[in-house]
Structure 1
Amino acid sequence: MSKISNLTAVVIMSLVGTTTSAAAETAEDKIARAMSAAPSDISDDARIMDVDGTILREGSNGWVCLPGIGLIPGDQHPMCNDAVWMKWMTAAGSGSAFSTDVVGVSYMLMGDAMVNNDDPMATDPNGGGVWVQEGPHTMMLFPNMDMLADLPRDPFAGGPYVMWGETPLAHVMLPVEAKTAP
């Protein structure tokens, strides 16, 4: 019986060790995931920043790529942002107002987490609203929300749509793949 107990303990410890080492992600892993968010002519020279703000690699082209979205705890969907989107991320994270005088662009070619298309603060998919998990896409910010008046707010209408349209965090989603409503 003690041999079985010892064997069981060894197997459990091995599994725990494997799980622990798999969970410990290297900076190189995070950099590779962050770079997958945008075309290489953007990500190759982008600054790579971890979700906690740690710079993993300096860049030279003004773009910032992240291995996940810090606004969604535990999210590992990478994104690459221009300076306007980094300002937007700061505003969204702090709950402060956002505005821009120029168009902003963000790439999320590895997709996105499930979010409420109407309410950026919603966390429960069972709490109502239209929830969508977008595949590969780009996002755009505009200085004048009137420019978005004719775009649908329905993420399942096909083509570009407005996310969070009735909030200061409104932006246009440009899907790359088709999706179907749940």
Structure 2
Amino acid sequence: MEQTQFTPANYKSNQSVRWCPGCGDHAILNSLHKAMAIVGVPPHKTAVISGIGCSSRLPYYMNTYGFHTIHGRAAAIATGFKVARPDMTVWQISGDGDGLAIGGNHFIHAVRRNVDINMLLFNNKIYGLTKGQYSPTSDRGFVSKSSPYGTTEDPFIPAELVFGARGNFF
């Protein structure tokens, strides 16, 4: 008989969380555990798929199926997984660099195709894992190791990308 009520603990793995103290990713992880318990999809019917970066460590902290893929390919892998296993609930975890820089084209087409995946975009406006490079969502003029004189580009606004790709939900 399948369990019908879940708690956040049902979705937590036994792995030690390796994010920096005070990082906002901790709050997102805890919120995701709580949300999954409320939604009630069993852990064995859930897959969490990520790319590369701090946020992309999240599958290790889930008691679900998980896949830590290569940089920028989380949307492509999550889409393929969902098409192959439509009975599964699929969560894609990406940072702003992973999801909107190298993975930007995959992001746009996953939105455009409206494949039934849940995409969490951790948008902290910086490449955190590489300790301070600017990202596609960094504000114009942002000074970093990779932009010592400030960035010269306007940032991507993820919502505008979704609307431009004719996404149905954001």
Q: After TM superposition, is the score higher than 0.5? A: no
Q: Give the helix-richer structure, 1 or 2.
A: 2
| Larger Rg belongs to | 1
Q: Give the strand-richer structure, 1 or 2.
A: 1
Give the TM-score, by structure 2 length: 0.31
Bigger relative CO (Cα 8 Å, ≥ 6 apart)? 2
